[in-house]
Chain A
Amino acid sequence: VSMLLSDEAAAPPEARGRRAWQPVRPGRVAAQVFMIVATVLWLVPIVFALYVSLRPIADTNKDGYVSVARHLTLSNFADAWTQSNMLKFFVNSAIVTVPAVIITLFLASCVAYVVSRFSFKFNVALLIMFTAGNLLPPQVLITPLYRIYLDVPLPGFISDSGLLYNSYAGLILINVAFQLGFCVFVLSNYMKSIPAEIFEAAMVDGASLWARYWRLTLPLSRPALAALAVLLTTWIYNDFFWAITLIQSGDKRPITSALQNLQGQFVTNQNMIAAAALMAAVPTLIVYLLLQRHFVAGLTLGSTKG
């Protein structure tokens, strides 16, 4: 596991020296043509959305969307931002995503630490329970969960709906519970690779169980935690299903699920829809540009996540 996390694994293939395994020339040309075509095709929807978002609606109404631009403007972005109260949706995303990621990593690392350091009989059963839970389609849970959320009261200072339903707390909780399994699986594998001698030495020095977890295991697991943090942030930010089903009020929804409402609001102005959608993608694009290595490391670490 740790091998997959190292920088070497994330480096591009060229960096690892030429292989003896080079395709013959005609094959290489065909491969290049294939990859160039695929890459261009892959970019088309994104570039087209960007192009649409940069053009004034007056122009596109007149010339159609597939035409040479007379003007390029950022006004669609500005209009979408101000007319839809988009800041509010981004704040909602942060309110849900940040605590959910922190709580998930904390709880998952607790379980992973115990399971990797103590040989209880039920360790494997526990890991199976967490891992399998993460692989279930969310729709298997949603019907009873929806009823539970409608029936569980929360004090007003936590939830202004007075219920688990339609509250940030409820959305955070389900994201935590659902992602827990994947993180337990990845972290327990990672922590098993930490040499037992380190813990034995700490125990001789009289370090408590908590100290061995907090001061020893967590710092040593930093690469795995970083990779998972990036992955979880992206997944929870991108969550659509839980927010659509468990948050009723449009103004409480995080940005990913609020896009649905924005689409209705701007239904006559595709340029603004494109601009709003691209703005919603900005946080994940930042991750893509700066932290892609961690994201890929996290994915390949566990590779269980659907």
Chain B
Amino acid sequence: MAQVKTELSSPPGTPGRRRRTRSLSGRDKIVLALMLGIPVLADLVFIWGPAAASVVLSFTRWTGIGGLHAQSCKPGVPSALQNGCWFGIQNYHQAVSVYPDFWPAVEHNAIWLLVFLLIATPLGMLFAVLIDSGMRGSRVYQSVLFLPVMLSLALIGIIWELVYSQNYGLINTVIGRNGNNNAIDWLGNPHLNLWAILVEASWRQAGYVMVLYLAGLKAVDPGLREAALVDGANQWQTFWRVVFPVMRPINIVVLVVTVIESLRAFDLVYVTSKGNPLPGLELLSVLVTQNIVGETQRIGFGSMLGVVLLLISIIPISIFLYQSFRREESSP
């Protein structure tokens, strides 16, 4: 993307290519304002407004019923009597100190990210490199490995339940562990279920990464590779020292996608646990939902968990924005 952009922006010395509004008629100005105004309003009302509201609400204690007010919550008063009050950083404090699900969720999100970074992404890259080398059958391989990317995560969760099921599942039957006494509960056992779900998630993610890298590899100038090979580099050296560095923009996109997907991880776990909390599968995204839906809404606490996600996601988002827009900023 980055290379494309330099080529597209008008060369220096030819100013005035892109118009300013001076030359527009009154009617054109109204049209312009609407074309810009409506989408911007939609983005502000539905995305940035709620994001900002999450930050504010994360400092309150609120069940969502009754109004919010600016008074501080009084310590020592039963929580039922304290609704809609200013709670300071108490939500954050409670999360890290007494809320039992918080640290497991952070740990599971971190494991999710590590598995994506260390297994799914390299696997996807390997698929892409092999397919791009023009091996026989590459078209079939590409189609099959890409198939899971098209499927919804809800659906993936359901079809993998058949594979993992305790009594009749594919794995337990094949390894002879489907008896009543020694059956392995892949999705219920808190020591196993996260890893079982990560297999499902990686099954999809690797295909996604593969497609991104295939595009990246196609954009690499074949002359570079040939030059490296002529100079005596072997395949391994050529890839890591020449091709991989040239794919920097795609590498960053893949990195950003990997981190964001790990933070968003939700659907697979929600489907597998049927929407209920399931030990071993706590994730920040799931905890957010548990605190807002259901009988006892904890709007302040749920918002606080959302803000934790927001703070982490600012890192990959900034990296992506920096790589995408720094050229435009510097150009006049």
Contact = CB atoms under 8 A, between A and B. Distances in A.
A300 to B, nearest CB: 4
Contact of A65 (B49, B170, B270, B313): B170
Nearest to B213: A300
B170 A39 contact: no
Question: A interface, how many residues as a size bin?
Answer: 35 or more
B107 interface: no
Interface stretch (B70-78, B96-104, B144-152, B180-188): B144-152
B85 interface: no
B35 interface: yes
B1 A124 contact: no
Contact of A144 (B25, B54, B170): B54
B292 A143 contact: yes
Contacts of A78: none
Contacts of B197: none
A211 to B, nearest CB: 10
B306 A139 contact: yes
B150 A35 contact: no
Nearest to A248: B293
B135 A32 contact: yes
A213 to B, nearest CB: 7
A72 interface: no
A189 B8 contact: yes
Given A184-B39, A256-B155, A260-B275, A300 B260 contact: no
Nearest to A60: B168
Contacts of A39: 140-141, 144-145
Question: B interface, how many residues as a size bin?
Answer: 35 or more
Contacts of A132: 317, 321
Contact of A139 (B25, B218, B289): B289
Contacts of B257: 303-306
A218 interface: no
A20 B238 CA distance: 13
Contact of B18 (A16, A117, A213, A260): A117
DSSP majority for the B interface? helix
Contacts of B212: 299-300, 303
Interface in B36-86: 36, 38-40, 42-43, 45-51, 53-54, 57, 64
B1 A137 contact: no
Interface string A190-210: 001100100100010000111
A118 B50 contact: no
Interface string A114-126: 1011111001101
Contact of A296 (B23, B38, B211): B211
A31 B147 CA distance: 20
Interface stretch (A94-102, A154-162, A219-227, A238-246): A238-246
Contacts of A304: 253, 256-257, 320, 324
B127 interface: yes
A108 B40 CA distance: 10
Nearest to B123: A38
Contacts of A66: 170, 173-174
B274 interface: yes
Nearest to A110: B35
Nearest to A65: B168
Contacts of B317: 132, 135-136
B54 A140 contact: yes
B135 A35 contact: yes
Contacts of B226: 20-21
B110 to A, nearest CB: 15
Which of B4, B155, B174, B292 gathers most chain A CB within 10 Å? B155
A281 interface: yes
Given A143-B54, A147-B299, A273-B158, A111 B250 contact: no
20 contacts: A13-B133, A20-B229, A21-B238, A32-B136, A38-B127, A45-B159, A65-B170, A107-B38, A118-B32, A119-B19, A136-B47, A142-B302, A143-B50, A143-B57, A144-B53, A180-B42, A189-B4, A259-B155, A264-B274, A274-B158
Given A14-B138, A139-B306, 6 more contacts: A12-B142, A45-B159, A126-B40, A240-B266, A274-B158, A288-B150
What 7 A-B pairs come out closest when comparing CB atoms? A177-B46, A238-B152, A300-B215, A144-B53, A110-B35, A306-B260, A209-B28
Interface of A: 1, 3-4, 9, 12-14, 16, 18-23, 27-28, 31-32, 34-36, 38-39, 42-46, 48-49, 52, 60, 64-66, 107-108, 110-111, 113-114, 116-120, 123-124, 126-133, 135-148, 150, 173-174, 176-178, 180-181, 184-185, 189, 192-193, 196, 199, 203, 208-210, 213, 234, 237-241, 244-245, 256-257, 259-260, 263-264, 270, 273-274, 277-278, 280-281, 284-285, 287-288, 292, 295-296, 299-300, 303-306
